[in-house]
Structure 1
């Protein structure tokens, strides 16, 4: 009598869920704005937490990042994510890091390298000049966007031969205007930098507070910097808990910590 094979069939691991920019669907370029779904983390980190700065298990974050790297078509060690400090600093990356640089923007022209940034309400922007084959990534919270991280990333790309007028920039999921309430001192800081920044604020029902349009502000800065094309995926991290982590939502719910998304782009 023939013995029956009782071994379980191999189950393929789920692909990490990602959103994509239509403008960045380019030959020789892969990218993804990864959501919170398709990983191995649990609890408040469920499930695709890419934040090494979170209190999630190191092994879980490492596995999640390995899955993201595979989806991008690069080795896990070649998914480069800096130590983000809400700065206006951008650096050129040419090889895997021996130590993560402290900055908020990266640029490269090296095939097989993916540039990533993390966020959980902040703007995550991916860049590509398809003719020069130069890519970039920037973490743009309100402070970095105001201080110039987007422009610094464009400058780093130009140092590698990119033409600013040919650069495509795409903004992934970020906190939306209706979800981003700020105090009067926040408003005053922006308007002190330029009176036109008042256009990105509207009064909140909770006077004297305001609602701030971070995606709109990022788009204005990039268009003003001369990029050839800008796309906003227009997804609100705070308003979609089934898809996205949100620092602000975690604070409002009294949670002990929160997961981080990874958005990344690679030359392949």
Structure 2
């Protein structure tokens, strides 16, 4: 699944190129996770003022509302001067004066949803309960500490939930916990203030590095220019079960938490 770094890398790969473009047509294919919610013709004639990100959602600010895009489990965007005829897995073409933005999603868990504003439905429902953005100044250590203290679940599960901090998906939660020396099974509310501070810094560092490296291309992720990411090549624990820890040489362990694989070093990461 594309996580926050992949979504941010996607945004950076086309945001400046589509900014200011006027919509000429909007074509929708097979139904996605959520419906567009308005006739596609509503977007025709509107201009793309800019592209933002909130969690794993890309927000295209238009003249009279917001087009929210989600990549789901296996989706990707491509922005090019023109596109070939849409294939069976191409489910949205936003045709503009500066190019065509296409959503490709084999599993159709992604979405293209219209909302009149962030305070109106469905944006209010989809975005309203998201946690702090980890790559902004709004990711305050004090608020992070307070959020973790309210949760008794294992720390990795709390990070994935997205209501304390948003976008720290499976890959990057495992990596941030390794960097901060915290076992993924430790209860969130049992972490001391110094350990929370280490985790806070690690989340920032891991996500920023992932964006710098173009995200992680474990299967088929590419950005809107068709480029793959390279962060997975330097992962410390994710996907490295039974391989030696890069720090202490102990074999990396793999467990399942909430139906997701978790990787950790039993020596470097303490209870």
TM-score between the two structures when normalised by the length of structure 1: 0.27
User: Whose RCO is larger (CA < 8 A, sep 6+)?
Assistant: 1
TM-score between the two structures when normalised by the length of structure 2: 0.27
